[in-house]
Amino acid sequence: MAEKAASKKGIFALNIILWGALWGIFEATLGYLLHSISFGYSWLVWYPAACFFMANAYRKTGRVSSIVFVGLLSAGVKLFNLLLPGRIDRVLNPAVSIVFEALSMAAVLLAARRIVEQGKSPLVKAGIALAMNTGWRLMYLLYLLFLVPDWMREISVLSSAEKFLSFFVTQNLVTGMLVFIGYLLKSRLFKPLEGLEHRIAKRFGALPKRPVVFLQAGAAAIALGTDIALQLALK
């Protein structure tokens, strides 16, 4: 019994590391690309992508806490950039945003879990997507108001009414709509991943359990190491 519980904990941890690392790799590589081409609409990408990685961690573990742990891991890796020269807000603010995104999704899913499982109307699902998106933005605004120095606040989304409305209204509604669409299409979006996971499980199913665990741990470790290396190299 104890061995089975330890195995479940190990699988849970591996999924956290894997999906957190994949999220970080995505942010590092695409972030570097978007920064290099000065793409002004990168906000269309970050939150829907974050939801995709957090939702996959939840899909694989079935535990809402996995969303929080994935967010903490991704934010922790992001903070490695503090070791490099550059403005602190460009590292700290994204890391804080990641944690708030995870906390908001976890809180809304806990509150609406029964509704989600029963597959209620699209209107309810749209409300859930908007609540998750609004929740982290509210936490981020409170963070800017009370926890950052003046110079960070003066160059933030609170520096003008235009920036505030863009962040809290326009970006909130547009990315919330994208998350809602992804929510409706999640079975199609996850199907290729599930197919790949099935093929991998089938290929390694004949191997003894211990080597498979080592392979899974190795893959998660490589992904995490790659994430850290990319965060430092592509800042």
For the segment 145-200, what is each residue's pLDDT rounded down to a tens digit? 999 999 999 999 999 999 999 999 999 999 999 999 998 888 888 888 888 888 87
170 versus 204: which is more confidently predicted? 170
122 versus 114: which is more confidently predicted? 122
Can you tell me the mean pLDDT for 16-42? 85
pLDDT digits 0-9 by tens, 208-231: 666 767 777 888 888 888 888 888
Q: What percent of the chain has pLDDT over 70?
A: 90
User: Which residues span the domain enclosing 156?
Assistant: 2-233
pLDDT at residue 98 is higher than 70: yes
Q: How far apart are CA 136 and CA 102, in angstroms?
A: 8
Q: How many domains does the chain have?
A: 1
Least confident of 32-41, 75-84, 120-129, 137-146: 32-41
pLDDT at residue 94 is higher than 60: yes
Can you tell me the mean pLDDT for 135-144? 98
Q: What is the 3-state secondary structure (H, E, C) of 152-203?
A: HHHCCCCCCHHHHHHHHHHHHHHHHHHHHHHHHCHHHHHHHHHHHHHHHHHH
What local confidence, expressed as pLDDT, does residue 119 receive? 55
pLDDT at residue 2 is higher than 70: no
pLDDT at residue 81 is higher than 60: yes
* Cβ neighbours, 10 Å, residue 76: 15
At 191, phi and psi to the nearest 5?
-60, -45
